[in-house]
Amino acid sequence: MAARKVATAADARALVEERGLAHVKVAVTDIDGVLRGKYMSREKFFSALDGGFGFCDVVLGWDSNDQLYDNVDYTGWHTAYPDAPVTVAVETCRDVPMEGDMLLFLGDFAGPAEAICPRGLLKRVIERARGMGYEPSAAFEYEFFLFDETPHSIREKGYRDLRPITPGFFGYSMLRSSVWAEFYRELLDVAERMDFPIEGLHTETGPGVLEAAITVDKALEAADKATLFKSFTKIVAQRNNLMATFMAKWSPDWPGQSGHLHLSLKGTDGKPAFHDKGEEHAISRTMRHFIGGQQKLMPELLAMVAPSVNAYTRLIPGFWAPTSASWGVENRTTALRAIPGSAKSQRVEYRVAAADGNPYLVMAAALASGLWGIENEVEPEAACKGSAYDRTFPPRLQLPRTLFEAARRLRKSKPARALFGDAFVDHYAATREWEEREFRKHVTDWELARYFEII
């Protein structure tokens, strides 16, 4: 049986036995979208298929640097970090090409932890869509930089003077992709074998920067694919003595790295809900209200799609990233790009998201706000024509300028609480406030250069 044919617990058992595996890999995602997992013995895995298994809930109570939050209620020293129940999502079974016959399964937190589990949150948003008569489809595209460095060398250099794999600009370069053909080929092969197929891979503008577009799928599956893509791109790179980064912006000299999300809806009849050939640009009433909801709630939900301090250095004029909750038709200067086309291809591109976002939370925010717009028949502002950077937008469309401001906007958002629940909003907002507080403990190179001598 092929790994991607696994649909039931019985299928999973049969495949593990067929391959004679003594262990499999299981993983969950933390709040930041980092895969956290382990090898699990066959006996333990078979037991988990029936009754789930326990995973230390600290992975929902620490940051991306394994530092413990001191400002959340769900878990902490006050609860003594017990195990949280996890169920195996057997349908996520994948081959792990670099480990022979090894299999990987994703899991979902259950019990009280389900309320703040990123994958669980997206599943609830998708159920909301289905309750409204829609099936969402989506696809992520990511920009990432590749460096001729290792985890040891970047630390020895203090993250300075890093060497990208190629110099110069060279966007869409056949020269660069052909010289590095072996790496491209391996990444494309791993993506195919692990079922996050890449439909487009090319150099972007900048030294060592690539862009990959992941093939469209149903919303949950698309987020799974994006999560696996980010992790295994890093794995393929490091196995080749290279490093990939998905930081929103690693250098002030180059544009930031996007994690754009393309979204569309189908109705219960299977027909695309965003296309109406009788309307301007074929934008249906449903699509218009979907855009309206995304636009109106974007300032309140920005912390979910721009989750790091670094992400806000990307949202500046002139660097291919939006600076306001704007929208336009085929406009790459706006936060929302309506892409007209055939009934099959018509969609909305959620361009505000950066590469460092947790795919499950980015999808949840973009989808839930659109559904909210449909439910409330929210009309979008007038579409932006020309450069959004040359426009002055009203305060209601201005995006938060810092992570702390974005976290406070999320915490106070009544729609966010209605869409995601108090438990998630309170926990997630606290984690972003923590992240900003951690940043403020440090003295930057800019501060030293500016103030050390002259002040």
Pick from 66, 84, 116: which residue ends a domain?
Answer: 116
Both 133 and 111 in one domain: the answer is no
Pick from 116, 144, 171: which residue ends a domain?
Answer: 116
Does residue 19 form part of some domain?
Answer: yes
Contacts 24+ apart (CB under 8 A), 78-84: 81/56, 81/57, 82/56, 82/57, 83/54, 83/55, 83/56, 83/57, 84/54, 84/55, 84/56, 84/57, 84/60, 84/109, 84/110, 84/111, 84/112, 84/113
Both 343 and 443 in one domain: the answer is yes
Instruction: Specify the CATH number for the domain of residue 352.
Output: 3.30.590.10
DSSP 8-state symbol, 4: G
Both 89 and 182 in one domain: the answer is no
**Quick check: 256 and 314 in contact, CB under 8 A?**
yes
Pick from 70, 89, 116: which residue ends a domain?
Answer: 116
| pLDDT for 384 | 95
Does residue 454 form part of some domain?
Answer: no
Does residue 333 form part of some domain?
Answer: yes
Both 152 and 40 in one domain: the answer is no
Both 112 and 141 in one domain: the answer is no
| pLDDT for 255 | 85
258 bridge partner residues: 354
Instruction: Specify the CATH number for the domain of residue 86.
Output: 3.10.20.70
Both 51 and 132 in one domain: the answer is no
List average pLDDT for each run of 10 residues in the chain, which is 455 residues long.
97 98 98 98 98 97 97 97 98 98 98 98 98 98 98 96 94 95 98 98 95 98 98 98 97 91 95 96 98 98 97 84 93 96 96 97 98 98 92 92 97 98 98 97 93 94
User: Total structural domains in the chain?
Assistant: 2
| pLDDT for 323 | 86
Domain residues for 19? Answer: 3-116
Both 216 and 355 in one domain: the answer is yes
Does residue 300 form part of some domain?
Answer: yes
Position 65, amino acid: N
Both 179 and 221 in one domain: the answer is yes
Does residue 26 form part of some domain?
Answer: yes
| pLDDT for 414 | 98
| pLDDT for 342 | 95
Both 175 and 36 in one domain: the answer is no
Both 80 and 137 in one domain: the answer is no
* Tens digits of residue pLDDT in 326-335: 999 999 999 9
| pLDDT for 317 | 77
Its sign, for the CA torsion 67, 108, 421, 246, is: positive
Would you state the torsion angle of the CA atoms of residues 124, 130, 134, 138, taken in this order, to the nearest 10 degrees? 40
Residue whose structure tokens are 């079974």? 93
Does residue 264 form part of some domain?
Answer: yes
- How is residue 442 written in tokens? 């440090």
Does residue 296 form part of some domain?
Answer: yes
Both 173 and 95 in one domain: the answer is no
Both 136 and 107 in one domain: the answer is no
Q: How far apart are CA 184 and CA 169, in angstroms?
A: 18
Gyration radius of the chain's alpha carbons: 22
Does residue 308 form part of some domain?
Answer: yes
Global pTM value? 0.97
